[in-house]
Amino acid sequence: MKKQTFKFTSASVDYYFNASIKQLKEIVDPTHAIIITDENINALHATKFKGFKTIVIPAGEKHKNQVTIDGIINQLIALQTDRKSTLIGIGGGVITDMTGYVASIYMRGIAFGFVPTTLLAMVDASIGGKNGIDVGIYKNMIGIIRQPKFLLYDVSLLKTLPQADWSNGFAEIIKHACIKDAPMFKLLKENTLAKFQKNKELLAKLVERNAKLKTKVVQQDEFEQGDRKLLNYGHTLGHALENQYELYHGQAVAIGMVYAGIISKQLLKFKQADAVVEVLAKYGLPTQMDFDKTKAIEVLKMDKKREKSTINYILLEKIGKGVIKQLPLTEIEQIIQSF
């Protein structure tokens, strides 16, 4: 199996692109590893990781909390998991976030690796070492930055992924293209969601390109002092909408990207706001939404990224060139209210 190693400030991580989940045994010894997965993935894919001890947890964001972590810890103890064991998170971002977190606190930290099974986890959540859980309504309130030992990519696992989760993943892919990769934006424009779903090779290449793009951003700024903030493109307003409305993360980020495009047009003479809208629509994402703008701005004002009366907003100078701007909240408010 071909391995590529990427160095972060804190550790090195082995990436296995174009791999099969059945090759997991070549990376970790099943007698010293425990798989953590959710009930959906277990029902669909368990035969591919038989031979490993497995902890199965309920699926969904509402279980990304301390109660589930306590349950996992009890099972780890019952399975006599020791310091030499490796935890393997097989699943979407909920599973990778929780596996990384529990592995980082169990016995003061043991090794972990991921097999991401959603497009979002492949291109985003599994990369960068942010692990954690929610506390009540507060997302990712508790956690740690700690890198996995390995990431195994098997895009054939995506065959069973629901349609909404495909679009969710593409929201982050479009985000990457907007902030850092103009040629990829062109590729997305020239192709379709259906084409990526049908063509495994094309999909594997896209996943690898995005995983490497996020890796590079994190390598330069593992602890989010600067450039890593670019990954928040579309997320500032996106999070405000996600808190208020029943939206998928990707849908909220898509609306966030549309508005970031409008703000970029007004403040930085960004010329391709319409092209962003067109590509989002192409990948099944919403580009228009009636929302309570006053309320959304209230939430923005409480956002953790706020610095006094200004806010760090990610804008585009052009496709492929995201910039971090510290803007007065009043200016953002005016522009958002006028649309």
Residues 90-119 that bind ligand NAD (CB under 6 A): 91-95, 97, 117-118
Rounded to a whole number, what is the distance in angstroms from the first to the last CA of the chain? 52
Q: Lay out the site mask for ligand NAD across 294-323 (x = CB under 6 A, - = otherwise).
A: ------------------------------
The identity of residue 161, as a single letter, is L
Stretches 2-10, 49-57, 155-163, 328-336: which one binds ligand NAD (CB under 6 A)? 155-163
Asked if 54 and 37 touch (Cβ cutoff 8 Å), the reply is yes
Active site residues: 108, 130, 172, 214, 224, 228, 232, 235, 239, 249
Whichever of 36 and 277 has its CB closer to ligand NAD, that residue is 36
Q: Which two tokens stand for residue 330?
A: 């009043």
Those residues with Cβ within 8 angstroms of residue 9's Cβ, 6 or more apart along the chain or in another chain: 219, 222, 223
Say how far apart CA 58 and CA 68 lie, in whole Å: 9
Per the document, the length of the chain is 339
How many amino acids of this chain bind ligand NAD (CB under 6 A)? 29
Residues 17-56 that bind ligand NAD (CB under 6 A): 38, 40-41, 44
The residue behind tokens 């109660």 is 67
Asked if 101 and 134 touch (Cβ cutoff 8 Å), the reply is no
Minimum gap (Å) between residue 119 Cβ and ligand NAD: 8
Stretches 156-164, 198-206, 300-308, 323-331: which one binds ligand NAD (CB under 6 A)? 156-164
Say how far apart CA 25 and CA 31 lie, in whole Å: 10
- Per CB under 6 A, residues contacting ligand NAD are 38, 40-41, 44, 59-61, 64, 91-95, 97, 117-118, 120-121, 124-125, 128, 130, 140, 157-158, 160-161, 165, 168
